[in-house]
Structure 1
Amino acid sequence: MATPLPPFPDQGLRRVAHDAEDEHLPVWLRLMVRLAHARGGHVEVEAEHGYAGRLVAADGHSHFFKGTVFDINGAGAAALARDKDYAARFLAAAGLRVPHGLLVHAPRRRAALHLKNPGVAARLADTRAAETFARAVGYPVFVKPNEGSEGEGVSRAGDPAALDAALDQLFTLHDRVLVQRAEAGEDFRAIVLDGRVLAVFRRQPFRVTGDGKSPLSVLVASAVAGLGGGGKGTRINADDPRILGHLAASGRAPESVPADGEEVELLPNANLSTGGRAFDVTASVAPAFAGAASQAARALGLRFAGVDLIATGPDDPAPVVLEVNAGPGLSYFHRLGAREAETVERIYEGLVDALLS
């Protein structure tokens, strides 16, 4: 007798109702569904997870997406933007300021390549080259996966020991790791569509405020627990080694008690998915700042992009371009308040119109 097959997950596509109020649907998908319906189209997603799908226009033409990555950008341009080292080279060639960086290769990658092409393998930077680079540009340096996103795996190393530890940890998961000189200034995310800067947000790293009584361990645990509210989701835990390392680098320990009202920064990067905060500064952006963001997207061949910059402020005429995201998520910005929600909805309205044009 044949063994019965196990149940398979739902296959195929399902149409998302335009009036669905499913709180589990991400903000961007709810907006896309509503906007598509208003234009005579609809959205279909794969049945099991609802993460990938297509926007079907009134004329039947399909526009595909996976998460917040839409086919408004070419595959080659999106792949180039995803590779931080290659992207920085194209941005620099366009005359934009970028951090000095070094692409470092995991031992297993160099060993595997040595079997195929020893000459190329010998030229790949290793941990020793990273140490030499860091001494040349000066500590601290940032260490990050070359193709990571949402701040995952990003740390700041203040000395050779911290650099070696960060590289060893990332090499367990990544073949290529980028070491970059730390640039002074504030962190900004600009949203660009077809050369126009639609919004700019200033971002702050994850931090807690002391009450004069509670140790950092308690404050951090409470803050991390609060990040998951409202379906927000996070990529950080209270015992994340990056938090512990960042506190240690600033002379603090989990048992340290900050003064009442004292703010303590917990991470070096300002990604919202790791607890960062954001503020809409679009109205304060100077033309030169916006021009740099627009030029960054154009340099990588992207119509729609999130451009991350370091600058003294939104009026800085020469910001440093950290990286460019071909599929920027805007759900965190949508939750900031009514005005920010309207801004995000206008961005998606422009995106849908650009897709359908």
Structure 2
Amino acid sequence: MTGESKKAGSRRQRAGGQMSVRLKRMRGESLKPPIASVAEDGEAAKPQATLDCGWGKLIFAQTFKTNEGVVEALRGERRDRRDIAFYVRDPHVLLSLAPQEIFLDPSHSYRLELPTYRAGSRQPRGYFIRRLSSQSDAEAVNAIYAARKMVQVNPDFFWSSRDSRSITCFVAEDEASGEIIGTVTGIDHGRAFADPERGSSLWCLAVDPQARHPGIGEMLVRRVAEHFKARGAAFLDLSVMHDNEQAISLYEKLGFHRISIFTVKRKNPINEKFFAPQIESYDALNPYARIVVDEARRRGVHVDVLDAEGGFFRLSFGGRSIKCREALSELTSGVAMSICDDKAVTRRVVEKAGLTVPEQIEADSGEKRVAAFVKKHGRVVVKPARGEQGRGVAVGLEKPQDVAAAIAGAREVCDRVLVESCFDGNDLRLVVIDYKLVAAALRRPPQIVGDGRRSIAELIGAQSRRRAAATDGESTIPVDDETARCLAAQGFGLDDVPDEGAEILVRKTANLHTGGSIHDVTDIVHPELVDAACHAARAIGIPVVGIDFMVQAPDRPDYVFIEANERPGLANHEPQPTAERYLDLLFPMSRVRHDEMAAET
């Protein structure tokens, strides 16, 4: 062959190879390089590449010569971790090697072609995105992971990896409060294992369910894409659950497309819900029942759903059977439940036990007495004697006509209506299980942030949709008389368009079901508040209860007792182990068995 013929042949080979690569990428196929291939910087691609990400290892299956090697890598999974084998091309073959140990994850893989990606014009408002840079950032990220039921990471891992060239963790920080409200992790495949395809991937996208700002998830994804595009990466891949329609819609909006790559994981307690037979009517349970059912299944406690819509189920273990309704069980007596059911009775019981309570009268005491009560205290609270989830409650009333209207509204919930003195401060919920504090959280009333374009009614609607999405529909913001009163007190109406950045209180009640948000303060709550809550639980004689105080600050001893909830929402208090302590109370020996099983795993 002549020199010219050799050059022409070489050009045809290169062109054919490039066309093959382009076709494979268009089809969404992964390129399987030979193990000895070389990346652009001259470094040989690492065989059997894995990367510790804190929550578990990311196993790059395309770098393994055999499927047996991938199985062995998955078998090395540590306790309480979730290893992921990604870029699996022949899952049916891989699963046949260890069907009792591994399973095909019900997720889709998506890819963003970075050379053609264009940055969006929209910018974050009210928050900014930066790299994780401190131990407190790491702890805040873990809190978000817990709230989203994701595997947590040792904060020391984040800190030790802060200068890593393979792993980059971004956080979204609220400009006003300084709180971390979102996080995402990016993996540079070139740095991780000298990937000849120059790939990258996105993991652990999570937004704080209490966050007020829209578009946080989109901005985090864009930041990762722009980060890797600037570093010459060819694509950004991710894995998303097949039924996560909201996330899939976001990814497709940003230009991601499906690729034929699969994910395989190990059968462990963390992944059980993805491979174990589903409990009948499980999907119809609300989050407060589901968190208990999930913990029961992890421990080997048998579950029978009795009425999914009402949240009723039966738990059985070691010959013992207990019926529950969410966090309410047969261990709570009818007397204790009756005490909590009537707010006036609850107040009298805890007052006799020595707790500080607000002054209170019944609305049926007569107009003159009610008027004198309002005049004496200046501001009052009107609430039904029986009721839950903040229905019929009006806070901070000063005018007689507002009090009268609130009383009429509360009567729609319960015939007996209470009027009590109002105290400024923060709404604190303390969850007491087996007469010990398990969780403490501030409950903040719903707020909106103006953008200079939308009306208050539109902003409330958008915020309500975000709260509903973050809580499985449990939290929405009603637009009613209480909302109108709260806005009018600040000089606003529903049709007004607030300035950009203006923060407006929508309601004065902080209940989750009326749009409030919950912020964990267990680590800083004052010991005297803990003692008072536990003392109240013993006075009522109730083993599981949510005690509500009005406090100046969670780390100060001053408080006023508000009410006791016999069915506290345990799902609202992650990362605290509310469901774990609840199962400890119901079936003490199940914890021993769970620990033994975990140790074997």
Among 142, 147, 160, the residue aligned to 2:386: 147
Residue correspondence of structure 1 range 187-266 to structure 2 within 5 A: 187-230=427-470, 232-234=472-474, 236=476, 238-266=478-506
Among 10, 25, 44, the residue aligned to 2:304: 44
- Counterparts of 1:55 and 1:181 in 2: how far apart (Å)? 42
Per the alignment, residue 111 of structure 1 pairs with none
AA of the residue aligned to 1:149: E
Residue 132 of structure 1 deviates from its aligned partner by 2.4
Among 13, 16, 27, the residue aligned to 2:287: 27
Residue 220 of structure 1 deviates from its aligned partner by 1.4
1:100 aligned onto 2:359: yes
1:134 aligned onto 2:374: yes
- Counterparts of 1:314 and 1:237 in 2: how far apart (Å)? 25
Instruction: Name the CA shift for 1:282/1:235 in 2 (closer, same or farther; >3 Å).
Output: closer
Query: C-alpha offsets along residues 55-100 of structure 1, whole Å, 9 cap, x if unaligned?
Result: 12221x2211234322222110111012111111111111111111
Instruction: Name the CA shift for 1:238/1:184 in 2 (closer, same or farther; >3 Å).
Output: closer
TM-score when normalising by structure 1? 0.80
Q: Which runs of no fewer than 5 residues in structure 1 stay unpaired?
A: 1-15, 106-124, 334-339
CA contact (8 A) 2:307 2:313 kept: no
Query: C-alpha offsets along residues 31-51 of structure 1, whole Å, 9 cap, x if unaligned?
Result: 333433444431212256362
CA contact (8 A) 2:316 2:322 kept: yes
- Counterparts of 2:518 and 2:493 in 1: how far apart (Å)? 26
Q: Which moved more, 1:184-193 or 1:126-135?
A: 126-135
Q: Which moved more, 1:16-25 or 1:230-239?
A: 16-25
Instruction: Name the CA shift for 1:220/1:230 in 2 (closer, same or farther; >3 Å).
Output: closer
Among 509, 515, 540, the residue aligned to 1:275: 515
Residue 159 of structure 1 deviates from its aligned partner by 0.7
Partner-residue secondary structure (3-state), 1:308: strand
Residue 254 of structure 1 deviates from its aligned partner by 1.6
Large movers: runs of 4+ above 4 Å? 16-19, 234-238
CA contact (8 A) 2:445 2:510 kept: yes
- Counterparts of 2:287 and 2:405 in 1: how far apart (Å)? 37
AA of the residue aligned to 1:151: G
Per the alignment, residue 121 of structure 1 pairs with none
Answer with 1 or 2: which has the greater Rg: 2
1:326 aligned onto 2:560: no
> Would you say how many aligned residue pairs link Structure 1 and Structure 2?
312
- Counterparts of 1:354 and 1:42 in 2: how far apart (Å)? 16
Residue 237 of structure 1 deviates from its aligned partner by 5.1
Identity %: 30
Instruction: Name the CA shift for 1:300/1:50 in 2 (closer, same or farther; >3 Å).
Output: closer
- Counterparts of 1:47 and 1:283 in 2: how far apart (Å)? 36
AA of the residue aligned to 1:355: L
Residue correspondence of structure 1 range 104-119 to structure 2 within 5 A: 104-105=363-364
Instruction: Name the CA shift for 1:126/1:175 in 2 (closer, same or farther; >3 Å).
Output: farther
- Counterparts of 1:216 and 1:328 in 2: how far apart (Å)? 31
- Counterparts of 2:524 and 2:295 in 1: how far apart (Å)? 29
Residue 213 of structure 1 deviates from its aligned partner by 3.1
Per the alignment, residue 131 of structure 2 pairs with none
Instruction: Name the CA shift for 1:52/1:284 in 2 (closer, same or farther; >3 Å).
Output: same
Instruction: Name the CA shift for 1:298/1:182 in 2 (closer, same or farther; >3 Å).
Output: same
AA of the residue aligned to 1:95: G
Partner-residue secondary structure (3-state), 2:523: helix
Residue 281 of structure 1 deviates from its aligned partner by 0.9
Partner-residue secondary structure (3-state), 1:284: coil
Residue 18 of structure 1 deviates from its aligned partner by 6.8
Per the alignment, residue 343 of structure 2 pairs with 84
